[in-house]
Amino acid sequence: MIYLFDVDGTLTPSRGVMDPDFKQFFRNLPNYSLVTGSDKPKTIEQVGEDVFAGAEYSFNCSGNDVYKQGKHLYKSDWQPSKYLINFLEQCLETSTYTERYGNHIEVRTGMVNFSVVGRNAVDDQRTKYFKWDQTIGERRRIASVLKMQFPELAAEVGGETGIDIYPEGLDKSQVIQYFPDADIHFFGDRCEAGGNDHSLALKLDRVSHVKNWKETWNILERALKYTNPQMAVTQ
């Protein structure tokens, strides 16, 4: 069994760090890999250098920047066009959400992350935007319009505030090529249609669509107490 995990919202709170007790449990997992829209520095900030290096694979930037046991393996050379950047700037100008914090367009390896509220928003500010967006549906609307104007691109909602944008097919689903014929159990918090875990979840038979890291821990404990009882601990 290979355990494959989204990071933000699945192993950690949104933009937060891994719970110390959960981390101690998690580090002893056999055959785990990470798949996240975040880059390597942000991933290490959230889960720590030990969890990052202990992963069989860490698929950063939705699989466009790949590490194997902490060593760099692959990097996409895709770059966004000026037309895409202009489109996102227009979305920012026309958004009715007026609170803005820091950078809004972050070019990562092989992808772009776009956030109306901004990447420097703190927890309360991100949560406020997330609740507003749940009612208004701004991110899904932007993603839908973007895909009509740029049919060669995919755009998916990620985390509480972001939209992940990449070439069609170069989303998280691309990582299964690294596990031919393997039995994979995937954990993600955005497995719904339009979420950035959805494309990967569709291609796997064993998927846990979790609400938060605590649910991830609970599911892992139930699964492991039968296959590796000494790993199961009480939270």
Residues recognised as catalytic: 6, 8
* Alpha helices, H only, the chain: 20-26, 40-47, 49-54, 82-94, 123-136, 138-149, 198-202, 213-227
Phi, psi of 183 (to 5 degrees): -90, 110
The residue with tokens 């891994």 is 18
Structure-token match 């990071």, residue found: 7
Residue type, 90: Q
The position carrying tokens 């202009």 is 86
Q: String of b and e for 18-41 (b: at least 16 CB within 10 Å)?
A: bbeebbebbeebeebbbbbbbbbe
CB atoms within 10 A of CB 189: 25
Q: What tokens were used for 212?
A: 């938060």
